[in-house]
Structure 1
């Protein structure tokens, strides 16, 4: 593992840990109470999709939502680390989308089921290029934004996170041991909404980077 380039962590990283409701206004727009401790769930590594490939709306989904998020890439193993030491385990950052089958998620909530169908489908984690941490001295002073077909939908400051990155790393690493190449999605600002087949999503981190993805409809084969 250690010999593999972190610049292509999505090809060999194992865990995608997603933090929910980490921006107050997003929690409010979803009708959710503010969390007292981090809420997180997992996506499989097959959720990764890179520019040049499409985001597929699952055949069972009729309401696919975008959620733009700052991703934190782990650079060395973290198990029950303190907040003070947490940033020593960060290799860099990436821009991510937490694509969500919102109608499916609502059904899962009603039935008390896991969110895997809603959050873990193939192409549910579009990812940008890797950004070494040296290029982002303070990840809590960034603007993340998202447009659909050229219209601004989401724009938020990472300073508005409820739980900071060191807190998230410390909290998660007490429950799930973080390995080199793992990715933490740190939550989405308000403005999430639906996308349809043939829509184009553009998203970015301040003026550091941007990425574009087309949305396509998955065709059921059986």
Structure 2
């Protein structure tokens, strides 16, 4: 256990950090952020190699969240940390009480840099919802997806094709194999964040977030590349 003291003119406060304690840093809300873990008197990060929702659920449980909440974030979604990278190759079943109960490569054994810092989202699972905006009819429009606290953002059209469009339409409740991809901001340019890029669906997924992608907020796009779909075809 490490003890730190801070003194003011009126009183002294003492805080205690426990070995293996977890905190979330630099999130958009208190329910999310970069995962940092306390070890030998110092906070450090966790590498995202093999990082998945089972690991995220354990982090959220350790932080006191009830239920089965926890969504994994990778590729330094919440910015790059500094200092040591303590854990790598974390492999939780999802039922553990603490992150240190999960298999891992051992303290300090890693081959990562801070661009691979792992994060989690412990809020309710409203992220990943889809809507179509500014279409010529209700069956088409610019694809927007919700992320943290329900904030909407767009999807970049790099690699965007009809397989991706079919998944969007399926998620929106359309039956059959409908869905035609639109690119280059066919339905006008959005505003705010661009959340996904390099989406690669097989066409059989139920939700767009089930498809491979570059990770939340990882893109090299402008809104002139906002993706759209037409679900009437």
TM-score bin (small chain): under 0.3
Based on CA coordinates, which of the two structures has the bigger radius of gyration?
2
Higher relative contact order (CA 8 A, sep 6+): 1
TM-score by length of 2: 0.21
- What TM-score results when the alignment is normalised by the length of structure 1? 0.22
Task: Please identify which structure carries the higher strand content.
Answer: 1
